[in-house]
Structure 1
């Protein structure tokens, strides 16, 4: 479907509103598939797709869909392992580009894998050589897997995420150990601090058991910080401190699951673990953890690898559901239009971007039977300033565009003929002069010159030229549109003049009904069909007469009386 720039701006506003509701950038691709089309079969296909899927959307889905993100399986090069293969396999193994490859064992690697009996036996596949590239992304995205499981449960469907999550528990223990490795410095320093605090307590407790010269000697050495002398003369406290060191090392051994002996027995207080000892322990831990993660990952991957294609489909479906959820939220209370031949019409349509809009029913062509309608294809919309004429043109555009996107529309009922083109002329408030008039005229003429089913919406064309010339120009242009069987709605203050020129056209009116207690215009925005709408100058003058004071009030009273005479 062809849209002129103003119509495209309305389409963009609709698209952006839905886009702002979409939580996942991966879901935006679905919205792009719904550009307005003039293909009736495609519109019906889209409607059927939405009718089938929108009822599945539940409010609870939003929370879980927000947690969805891509699970990207890595293709990293792992420098911690060596793959030893037969000479005949070297080229194939290197083509995997996943780790170093050799025909014989080499030093300097944490993990040695082999197809010929060295180290851990493997097959020539990434899944066997580097299973972590699959398993670690799944582990890091457990929240995504849980969200997928919840989404499927809300839809009443089974999810492979549940089975994957069960198998991932098998690596939970080693992954906790890996987390501890990243916190090793803090763990050791915390135990070091705890041990020093305990030694201080022991020294204070021991001092309470001493009397006389022993106490004075002890306190003197304690004040001087001569701990070595204290421990050499008071073996009892030395033994207690050694026992506390053993307890601390046992705690670390149990936590890290390796033998730990890092506290020096030569300098008992204050205890301070050298950095090199921590690094030596880190290296030992790292080797053990890497091998354990590799073995566990390979074991788990062998069980879940057949589930990965289905997991990808579940992720793809989640992105689609997020698009559908946004559409459902945007179109709440909307109705699917009926595709017909003969025009455009709707009952109780509501402008998308006006807060609490008055519902309006309208039609052009032979689509709906309302009092005052006789199937006219050309309609002149007249009436009060700020009465909603331009808003009605926008509403018509919104309903037509949403229909051609395949979406429901903001109306109780709607009937829309599939069109080839929507042309919307809206005068820019700051645009006047010959150049503006010529540009608008050329644009209007181009639309009339081309064949196809068209809806042309024009907002106050006469505002960019002289009223007398406007009647002649608009009159002839609308005659051409009528001859070509285009649909036209034109907003104009020249209703009476145009009606004389265009007997085939219907004139509708929106009227102001008076002023409220705050001196604001009371306007019924529902057009009266076949009735010329009165403009609002008299009411505006009346409002100014009542609001102003002094000389200005006298002037407006005189103008107001002119309306009454």
Structure 2
């Protein structure tokens, strides 16, 4: 798909879209979340681009919704659908559904809807969907203990672009490489020419490093999965609850995710935990070991009576001997035991292995001293060895886990996309179930609705009275005030919009012509001034000049000007629409319009069958070829039949005027 061929997509937008993975797939599937990952593309803009791409594919003009009121009905439909989506992404995807006259687009959506309507919106799946969202790449964090090295300037530029987290250095020879090795814990060399060089430090020659990001910078992969872990887990839960197929071993995925901490570090490895504790606790443990030795020696000295004859004391003093000599002579065994206790405490408290323990024992020399003190050089060497062992194990675990997770990345993308796609399907399924919907049938002319109930009414859906109505060609719809004429127009518009979106309709059955456009002219608020009246007539002139296969709905057009003129104008419009258009014109001037028209205009009526405590009792389904009685006529009839004081026949005479 040529991106710039899509309406509204220029060179800059096309370049932004090319920066994401698989832009053609995202456009084809209406994947708004994927499109919105492009720089400066909002979800709303992404939905508009996806709609434009779909229109281009199905040669749709985008003119089906010809009036503001028609667009309002479409917006209301989308709102009802989006209220039944769990995730924001599913709500955005639903924005790509629109009414069209394109048979291929309608059929494409209907095939998908047929599957969606079979989906069971079980609570477990809906609960799991709460945590699902598009996968995101967290900001790259600088890694300072590792660098890349190369002697090639072009390769240097490629490495900088591929690994923004690392420093990339130019080296000319092994001396420069050795300098880098002294400044970085790990140096990764990109040039095979350096293979086999003997340099102190962790220097690795990896000519294919640019193709192995999870090995060079495992932190990138780990950070991605740590950032998206809960979303991936939620998507996995959706697959289990909804029994969706997946290319991944979900149990293995859960196990690997459990090895990640929130910050992307590896957890759950006993050996790494031991080394980390040993490094962290080394100084405190050495200090405690000193205390153990000194406490034992102090206790031994306090409990021991040491007798030194005068000659011996004189000899020790003359030799310059001090406490160390006294300890060596009088408390040799106790000192050795104290040193052994210090060594045991250090080894046991840090859980050192045999090689580490061998070095650790040298931290407390056997030479008698009091107080006992550790050998700082030995402790520093032990710290260095433990730190190196910790870092090497952590690096290996990072690389191993990153390699495993990198192999699951594509599967996780599919996992999340499938879960979000299921949310879209369930939104349609819930809509169809909530409003007792069926898929309409396309055929013949006009529109026929049985048991239609509008969810747009300001009452609970269960309280809506079903409507049966069939109409073809230009028709006048009469009826009492508040009898449901406007609601009937809304139902016709709603059914038409849903049908042409490829979606189910709230009715027992619907048969509908495939229209090219919906014109819905809502009731004007008061008489229009000359300019507005002229604009309205121009609008209808354009409507009359349009093509066939249109549904025209007009609510009380007579309100735009004087009643006499209105009847003449409406009659003229109906004459022009006859034979080419389905139209329903709601009017209180049905009789006058019929008389003014030069053809036999169909008149249907929403009948009020009486009054109950001052409230109209209405038969909501329009009756064919019936001019409905007005509310005033019903009131006069009620007075004529129920009043006892109508001695001169006043009410009867008034009632006769309606005949």
Under a length normalisation based on structure 1, what TM-score does the superposition of the two structures give?
0.72
| One of 175, 182, 202 as aligned partner of 1:119 | 202
**Shift in alpha-carbon separation, 1:559–1:301, aligned structure 2, 3 A:** farther
- 1:70 Cα shift? 2.5
1:153 and 2:240 are equivalent in the alignment: yes
**Structure-2 residue corresponding to 1:216:** none
- 1:404 Cα shift? 0.8
**Stretches of structure 2 lacking an aligned partner (at least 5 in a row):** 1-63, 172-176, 289-341, 361-382
Partner SS state of residue 342, structure 1: coil
Partner SS state of residue 607, structure 2: strand
1:68 and 2:132 are equivalent in the alignment: yes
8 Å CA contact 1:110–1:291 kept in 2: the answer is no
Partner SS state of residue 528, structure 1: coil
Distance 2:387 2:537 in 1: 77
| One of 502, 517, 538 as aligned partner of 1:442 | 538
8 Å CA contact 1:349–1:411 kept in 2: the answer is yes
Under a length normalisation based on structure 2, what TM-score does the superposition of the two structures give?
0.62
**Shift in alpha-carbon separation, 1:82–1:146, aligned structure 2, 3 A:** closer
**Structure-1 residue corresponding to 2:84:** 21
**Shift in alpha-carbon separation, 1:94–1:462, aligned structure 2, 3 A:** closer
1:308 and 2:409 are equivalent in the alignment: yes
- 1:111 Cα shift? 4.7
**Structure-2 residue corresponding to 1:298:** 399
1:422 and 2:518 are equivalent in the alignment: yes
Distance 1:450 1:477 in 2: 13
**Structure-1 residue corresponding to 2:319:** none
- 1:253 Cα shift? 5.8
1:349 and 2:452 are equivalent in the alignment: yes
Distance 2:386 2:496 in 1: 67
Distance 1:248 1:405 in 2: 76
- The structure number with the bigger radius of gyration is 2
**Structure-2 residue corresponding to 1:409:** 505
8 Å CA contact 1:111–1:291 kept in 2: the answer is no
Q: Counterparts in 2 of 1:539-550, with a 5 A limit?
A: 539=634
8 Å CA contact 1:44–1:406 kept in 2: the answer is yes
- 1:4 Cα shift? 1.4
**Shift in alpha-carbon separation, 1:480–1:134, aligned structure 2, 3 A:** same
8 Å CA contact 2:518–2:552 kept in 1: the answer is yes
**Stretches of structure 1 lacking an aligned partner (at least 5 in a row):** 196-244, 261-281, 366-376, 546-553
| One of 529, 550, 573 as aligned partner of 1:433 | 529
Q: After superposition, give the CA deviation of every residue in 1:168-226 in whole Å (9 maximum; x if it has no partner).
A: 34456943799x9xxx9xx99xx9xxx9xxxxxxxxxxxxxxxxxxxxxxxxxxxxxxx
| One of 443, 447, 470 as aligned partner of 1:363 | 470
**Shift in alpha-carbon separation, 1:85–1:449, aligned structure 2, 3 A:** same
**Structure-1 residue corresponding to 2:168:** 101
CA-atom RMSD in angstroms: 4.1
Q: Counterparts in 2 of 1:381-400, with a 5 A limit?
A: 381-400=477-496
**Structure-2 residue corresponding to 1:163:** 252
- 1:479 Cα shift? 0.6
**Structure-1 residue corresponding to 2:43:** none
Partner SS state of residue 458, structure 1: strand
- 1:33 Cα shift? 2.6
Equivalent pairs counted in the alignment come to: 462
8 Å CA contact 1:512–1:522 kept in 2: the answer is yes
Greater RCO (CA < 8 Å, at least 6 residues apart): 1
Partner SS state of residue 423, structure 1: strand
**Shift in alpha-carbon separation, 1:247–1:417, aligned structure 2, 3 A:** farther
Distance 2:384 2:523 in 1: 74
Partner SS state of residue 80, structure 1: coil
1:318 and 2:405 are equivalent in the alignment: no
Deviating runs (4+, > 6 A) in structure 1?
Answer: 245-252, 282-290, 541-545, 558-562
Partner SS state of residue 101, structure 1: strand
**Structure-2 residue corresponding to 1:45:** 108
Partner SS state of residue 436, structure 1: helix
Q: After superposition, give the CA deviation of every residue in 1:356-397 in whole Å (9 maximum; x if it has no partner).
A: 2111011122xxxxxxxxxxx121110110000011001000
Partner SS state of residue 424, structure 1: strand
Distance 1:33 1:404 in 2: 13
1:536 and 2:644 are equivalent in the alignment: no
8 Å CA contact 2:134–2:417 kept in 1: the answer is no
**Shift in alpha-carbon separation, 1:520–1:108, aligned structure 2, 3 A:** farther
8 Å CA contact 1:168–1:300 kept in 2: the answer is no
- 1:520 Cα shift? 2.1
Query: Which shows bigger deviation, 164-173 or 22-31?
Result: 164-173
**Structure-2 residue corresponding to 1:513:** 609
1:493 and 2:588 are equivalent in the alignment: yes
**Structure-2 residue corresponding to 1:549:** none
8 Å CA contact 1:431–1:464 kept in 2: the answer is yes
- 1:145 Cα shift? 2.5
Distance 1:398 1:535 in 2: 27
- 1:20 Cα shift? 3.2
**Structure-2 residue corresponding to 1:58:** 121
Query: Which shows bigger deviation, 507-516 or 103-112?
Result: 103-112
